[in-house]
Amino acid sequence: MSDPAKATVKTPASQPREHGVIEVSDLVVRYGAATALQGVSLSVGAGEMVALVGPNGAGKSTLVDTLSRVVRPASGHARVKGRLAHVPEGRQLFGELSVEDNLRIGAWGQRDRDPEPVYEVLPDLRDFARRKAAALSGGQQQMVAIGRALMARPDVIAVDELSLGLAPKVVSDLAAHLRTLNSERGMAVLLIEQNARLAFELCSRAYVLEAGRMVVSGSCEELARSNEVARAYLGGGTGDEL
Amino acid sequence: MTQFLMFLINGIAIGCGFALVGSGLVAVYRITGVVNFAQGMFAVVAALSATSFVAMGVWHGLAELMAISVGGLAGLITGVIAVGKRGTQPLTALLVTLAVGFLAYAVEVLIWGENPRSLAGLDGRAELMGVPVQRQYLLVIAVTVVVFVLLWLFFSRTYLGKALTACASNPYAARVVGIDVTRMAFIAFALGGVLGGIAGVLIAPLRPVSFDTDVSLIVGGFAAAIFGGLTRPMMALLGGVLLGITEVMIQAYGNASFATMGSLVFLLVIMIWQATRRPTVHKESV
């Protein structure tokens, strides 16, 4: 997957869509002299679940940091229609604050800071609402990070490395929550994952980012059947078993 | 024994002044990671402003409040200069605060001259458990207690205080949820200015203040703040009080000229103690 010219899957479905909740076109991001993203385009439609996969250092987190305006682009566009909430890589909670305070801070800039709607979606959070975020397990912290993002009442949620450092059972539970948010609430999801198997299971479309360039994109079914994608991200065999 | 208790209360009052300066350092460091060497200047500017307001005929109380506001404004301006540019590193900002402190000397000399100025405080003495104590000392202690309680309530009970703690805890995550971390840093500097200003107007009746008084204030304030690892206001209060008592006892039972040296030794001992407890002074919870 190192040579963009070898990209084999490029379907109409993979093209940036008009009127998406996320529209990224020809995005270039630089950190000093280093180019993190070079001419990247991507779209996420309303109510869609889209994956962004790629190895470490590909620029996946930079892309979502640009969407949430933590990083400024050098050129190109990264537009979000409606409200985007970002679950950052490594959870990034406010460890000194309680779980409930973490949730309330997630509603920064909004009048309604009542965490009750989030407790309805993620009822387990209620059990450790008073505990300091730093004292929770990795899975609990990831749940708080998702809850904090939901406090912004987003139209689209970008989840950076949902599975990082978590047990398969925990990942499965969290993935189920994301599916519910998508199917029952119509919330669009951009899932940034190194675990392509998980990403392809959850999402309908995916983009593959390598060394700051989008090398291939398409429906997850097609990508999973691609030998090159399978070799690079699915441990060798094609993803027919998906 | 009465004399010892009198010195003890005086020491606590002096230490409260250091603690207030130190708490300003803590407020700025917790949120921005910057050691603000202009913190002593806020106290000096507020004290000198108070003398001017009183000279202009403004009532006591109101003059002090106005002077504290000037201290807050000085803090805000220092914050804008030190961390206003996105991406400024804490070490760069530290050097900027040092430069702002020196620049302030010129402004202070231009406005108030080089001679020390005094501010009238509470007159007379009161008896505390049979110990005669200057009313101004009691005022300093009472105000400091109120300020630290308010500070604790602010950081632990208010949404803005928790957001400031969030910025200190994880600036990246704070940006992710949409908090303008630079603006919060300005608030931290303004808060530091207010705390320095309170220290200034409380100390001015106890000792004459001139443009270079900030050096002794910042040494004492830094010693107090470092006692709490630059992050814990309540430990800064304890450190300031211990330092104040040490200084007064050296003056009372030793040689007054060794008092400043005593605070420097106190600072050195704390820094060595901190260094042996952990590799570097780092952020901790309150």
Any domain includes B282: no
Any domain includes B71: yes
pLDDT average, residue stretch B224-232: 87
**What single letter denotes the amino acid at residue B155?**
F
Q: How far does A221 lie from chain B, in Å, by closest CA?
A: 32
CA dihedral A107, A108, A113, A118 (to 10 degrees): 10
Q: Are the beta carbons of A88 and A145 closer than 8 angstroms? A: yes
Any domain includes B285: no
Domain range spanning residue B250? 2-277
> Does the pLDDT of residue A18 top 80, yes or no?
no
How many other C-beta atoms are found inside a 10 Å radius of the C-beta of residue A173?
A: 15
What does the pLDDT read at residue B210?
A: 95
Any domain includes B135: yes
Show contacts of B154-162: CB within 8 Å, 24+ apart.
B155/B233, B155/B286, B156/B286, B159/A104, B159/A113, B160/B187, B162/A97, B162/A101, B162/A104, B162/A105
Least confident window among A157-161, B150-154, B201-205, B260-264: B260-264
How many other C-beta atoms are found inside a 10 Å radius of the C-beta of residue A44?
A: 28
User: What is the Cα–Cα distance from B34 to B55, expressed in whole angstroms?
Assistant: 36
Least confident window among B139-148, B154-163, B220-229: B220-229
Nearest CA in chain B to A93: B173
Any domain includes B138: yes
Confidence band of A83 (pLDDT split at 50, 70, 90):
very high
What does the pLDDT read at residue A235?
A: 67
Taking an 8 Å cut-off on Cβ atoms, the answer to whether B165 and A86 are in contact is no
pLDDT average, residue stretch B156-172: 93
User: What is the Cα–Cα distance from A37 to A61, expressed in whole angstroms?
Assistant: 10
| B157 in contact with A, Cβ within 8 Å | no
Q: Are the beta carbons of B270 and B226 closer than 8 angstroms? A: yes
CATH, residue B141: 1.10.3470
Tokens read off for B4: 């010892």
B265 contacts: CB under 8 Å, gap ≥ 6: none
Q: Kindly report the CA angle at A7 between A4 and A12, in degrees rounded to 5?
A: 120
User: What is the Cα–Cα distance from B163 to B169, expressed in whole angstroms?
Assistant: 10
Which among A92, A109, A113 has CB closest to B173?
A92
Q: How far does A225 lie from chain B, in Å, by closest CA?
A: 35
Any domain includes B184: yes
Which among A95, A105, A152 has CB closest to B162?
A105
Q: Are the beta carbons of A61 and B176 closer than 8 angstroms? A: no
Any domain includes B258: yes
Q: What ipTM did this prediction achieve?
A: 0.86
Domains and CATH numbers, chain A: 13-82+155-172+181-235 (3.40.50.300), 93-153 (no CATH)
B25 contacts: CB under 8 Å, gap ≥ 6: B35, B36, B39, B192, B221, B222, B225, B230, B236
Is A5 or A93 the better-scoring residue by pLDDT?
A93
Which chain A residues in 14-43 lie under 8 Å from chain B, judged by CB atoms? none
> Does the pLDDT of residue B148 top 50, yes or no?
yes
Any domain includes B286: no
> Does the pLDDT of residue B276 top 50, yes or no?
yes
Confidence band of B54 (pLDDT split at 50, 70, 90):
very high
What does the pLDDT read at residue A15?
A: 47
Which among A96, A104, A109 has CB closest to B285?
A96
| B115 in contact with A, Cβ within 8 Å | no
Q: Is B275 exposed, middle or buried (0-12, 13-18, 19+ CB in 10 A)?
A: exposed
Q: Looking at the 3D structure of chain B, how many domains does it have?
A: 1
Which chain B residues in 36-95 lie under 8 Å from chain A, judged by CB atoms? none
Taking an 8 Å cut-off on Cβ atoms, the answer to whether A97 and B159 are in contact is no
